[in-house]
Amino acid sequence: MSTQHHFDVLIIGTGSAGLMSALQLSDDLSIALIAKDKILEGSSYYAQGGISAVLDNQDNFESHIADTLSTGVDLGDEAAVRFMVEQAPSAIESLEQAGVVFTQQQGQYHLTTEGGHSNRRVAHVADKTGQSIQTNLLDSAKSKKNITLFENFIAIDLLTQNQHCYGAYILNKSNNEIESFIAHKTIIATGGASKSYLYTSNPDTSTGDGIAMAYRGGCHIANMEFTQFHPTCLYHPHAKSFLISEALRGEGAKLILPTGATFMHKYDERGELAPRDIVARAIDSEMKTHGFDCVYLDISFKDKDWIESHFPTINKKCASFGIDISQDPIPVVPAAHYTCGGIQTDINAHSNINNLYAIGEVAHVGVHGANRMASNSLLECIVFAKACAKHINQQALKPQHLDFDNWDASRVSLSKEKVMVTHLWDEIRRIMWNFVGIVRSNKRLHSAQMRLAQIQNEVDEYYRLYLISSDLIELRNLVTTAQLIVKSAILRKESRGLHYNEDYPQTSNKAKDTIIEL
């Protein structure tokens, strides 16, 4: 008989979205917080640039809303964007209440800027905003008696019946047992899917698990074609997934070719501070045209002390590879960074399945449109975590009458073919990088679709025959998420924001979301 847990609320994911929702739920609710790795491991911890909010009296909500919608190439939902922007100052307050101390200058927030913002509105903690947010939120969560943390527990599938969610099956990685977590409300906060690409700025946790689980459970999945490529990840053979923050460009850093020539002015009048889709495509085009392996980001005009105080993490990391950024330009390339699409939700973060919510990068509430503006993601995490908790707090939880089976592991045996998992994992990520990257074509998308369908069959067979493992769970989710990206990309017969298809280079005058159902 496998273990059953009963909670009022099950939260899958301990990034900024998951932790903040737990903290905002009523103290009389019992909460399970689940992380598939160490609690702090996830994109939130690595966030550098900061979190956007109107905090300066030169700025205003209308400007933040207009910048967000225009960066998203008119596909964002104006009501959702307005809600997020108007709640931003209170999101900053909630973080401060949890102990985050944002960088100040002369008694005011030191606000920086990034691509797409027409005002300085990015609050930050030097270049380690995510680390500060995560450690403070986790300390607060640990101090609450109603929250139980489960580290190294990976969710496999949701428990759903008749359009209702009752929790999830979760693998306890320490003893390889599958345990049932039964809950009145389930919140998916599992982050994005950028690990479906070969090169990414993301940590290993971003395998699209929540999106794939929700899709299998009957959720509507929106706008998966919009994978954001961050223009500047460190290019070095030993630097796995290290980001060079857009905030450097906010402070005047220039993109240059190996010849020393600047190029962004040829692509957009905003130059280095054009939205990310434009900058990433410009770099891709320069690299392909000239056959360069990378381009460079130059901030060497700033003095050493200034660099050390504003960008201590980036400065130290580059120094560890022998790059003195106060003297030398930094070698950079674009890499998959952010999943704009995800589980379709309303403004309370509720999905189309009863009692099931989604928040943070895994969700699609409509704030990013065809391209997310820099530093709007942490903001989305905090604002919609609070909205979700508020919605749950307002409901009376009813007793549930459930009839479901514990996980049946009797029919499967130990695999002697683990090489299949590693091979397929690598193949998916190469297919996505080569065929579904920054610039797409119908031919490449259809080739990707065909091979991913075969891989799906191979994974399904493996999944049926062998004992489940963490790698297999992620592989199964990765192939599903990759197919959702490709299917959405094929359905969009135009180019818009992050989705550029050479066969449909124009932007249609009808902006519409791509929605996929099982």
Residues catalogued as catalytic: 276
Site for ligand FAD in 347-376 (CB under 6 A): 360-362, 375-376
Site for ligand FAD in 41-60 (CB under 6 A): 41-44, 46-51
- Give yes or no for residue 375 binding ligand SIN (CB under 6 A): yes
Alpha-carbon span 471 to 176, nearest angstrom: 12
Binder of ligand FAD out of 67, 209, 272, 286 (CB under 6 A):
209
Site for ligand SIN in 384-423 (CB under 6 A): none
Site for ligand SIN in 312-331 (CB under 6 A): none
Torsion of CA 400, 406, 407, 410, to 10 degrees: -160
Binder of ligand FAD out of 94, 103, 129, 501 (CB under 6 A):
129
Binder of ligand FAD out of 72, 76, 116, 130 (CB under 6 A):
130
Q: Which does 428 bind (CB under 5 to 8 A by kind): ligand FAD, ligand SIN, none?
A: none
Alpha-carbon span 9 to 141, nearest angstrom: 14
Residues with Cβ within 8 Å of residue 475, at least 6 apart in sequence:
421, 424, 425, 428, 459
Cβ–Cβ under 8 Å, residues 175 and 391: no
- Give yes or no for residue 72 binding ligand FAD (CB under 6 A): no
Q: Is the dihedral of CA 497, 130, 157, 477 positive or negative?
A: positive
Q: Give Cα separations from 149 to 40, 196, 484 (angstroms).
A: 12, 28, 31
Q: What are phi and psi of 337, to 5 degrees?
A: -130, -35
- Give yes or no for residue 275 binding ligand FAD (CB under 6 A): no
Nearest to ligand SIN of 283, 473 (CB atom): 283
Question: From the CB of 134, what's the least distance to ligand SIN, in Å?
Answer: 15
- Give yes or no for residue 384 binding ligand FAD (CB under 6 A): no
- Give yes or no for residue 437 binding ligand FAD (CB under 6 A): no
Nearest to ligand SIN of 167, 192 (CB atom): 192
DSSP state of 249: H
Q: Which does 296 bind (CB under 5 to 8 A by kind): ligand FAD, ligand SIN, none?
A: none
Question: From the CB of 170, what's the least distance to ligand FAD, in Å?
Answer: 7
Question: From the CB of 115, what's the least distance to ligand SIN, in Å?
Answer: 9
Q: What are phi and psi of 482, to 5 degrees?
A: -60, -40
- Give yes or no for residue 18 binding ligand FAD (CB under 6 A): yes
Cβ–Cβ under 8 Å, residues 31 and 22: yes
Nearest to ligand FAD of 84, 323 (CB atom): 84
Alpha-carbon span 242 to 332, nearest angstrom: 10
- Give yes or no for residue 191 binding ligand FAD (CB under 6 A): yes
Alpha-carbon span 91 to 385, nearest angstrom: 10
**Closest listed residue to residue 189, CA positions, set 17, 34, 365, 47:** 17
- Give yes or no for residue 34 binding ligand FAD (CB under 6 A): yes
Nearest to ligand FAD of 12, 23 (CB atom): 12
- Give yes or no for residue 315 binding ligand FAD (CB under 6 A): no
**Closest listed residue to residue 462, CA positions, set 451, 475, 449, 452:** 475
- How many residues line the site for ligand FAD (CB under 6 A)? 43
- Give yes or no for residue 332 binding ligand SIN (CB under 6 A): no
Q: Which stretch binds ligand FAD (CB under 6 A): 9-17, 99-107, 178-186, 283-291?
A: 9-17
Binder of ligand SIN out of 16, 21, 44, 48 (CB under 6 A):
48
Chain mean position to CA 170: 22
- Give yes or no for residue 488 binding ligand FAD (CB under 6 A): no
Tokens of 317: 């990391």
Q: Which does 355 bind (CB under 5 to 8 A by kind): ligand FAD, ligand SIN, none?
A: none
Tokens of 235: 């290019």
Cβ–Cβ under 8 Å, residues 341 and 226: yes
- Give yes or no for residue 137 binding ligand SIN (CB under 6 A): no
Alpha-carbon span 177 to 141, nearest angstrom: 26
- Give yes or no for residue 131 binding ligand FAD (CB under 6 A): no
Q: Is the dihedral of CA 385, 17, 161, 514 positive or negative?
A: positive
Nearest to ligand SIN of 67, 246 (CB atom): 246
Site for ligand SIN in 236-265 (CB under 6 A): 245-247
218: left (phi over 0), alpha (psi -120 to 50) or beta: left
- Strand residue runs (E) in 267-395: 295-298, 330-339, 342-344, 356-358, 363-364
Question: From the CB of 248, what's the least distance to ligand SIN, in Å?
Answer: 8
Binder of ligand SIN out of 13, 49, 275, 360 (CB under 6 A):
49
- Tell the residue number behind the tokens 């479906």, with chain if given: 196
Q: Which does 381 bind (CB under 5 to 8 A by kind): ligand FAD, ligand SIN, none?
A: ligand FAD
Cβ–Cβ under 8 Å, residues 44 and 205: no
From the CB of residue 161, how many other CB atoms can be counted at a distance below 10 Å?
10
- Give yes or no for residue 205 binding ligand FAD (CB under 6 A): yes
Question: From the CB of 395, what's the least distance to ligand FAD, in Å?
Answer: 23
Strands 31-35 and 147-151: parallel
Binder of ligand FAD out of 55, 92, 126, 155 (CB under 6 A):
155
Residues with Cβ within 8 Å of residue 178, at least 6 apart in sequence:
2, 156, 169, 170, 171, 172, 406, 407, 409, 468
Three-class DSSP category at 201? coil
Give the binding site for ligand FAD (CB under 6 A). 12-18, 34-37, 41-44, 46-51, 129-130, 154-155, 189-191, 201-202, 205-206, 209, 243, 338, 360-362, 375-378, 381
Binding region for ligand SIN (CB under 6 A): 48-49, 245-247, 374-375, 377
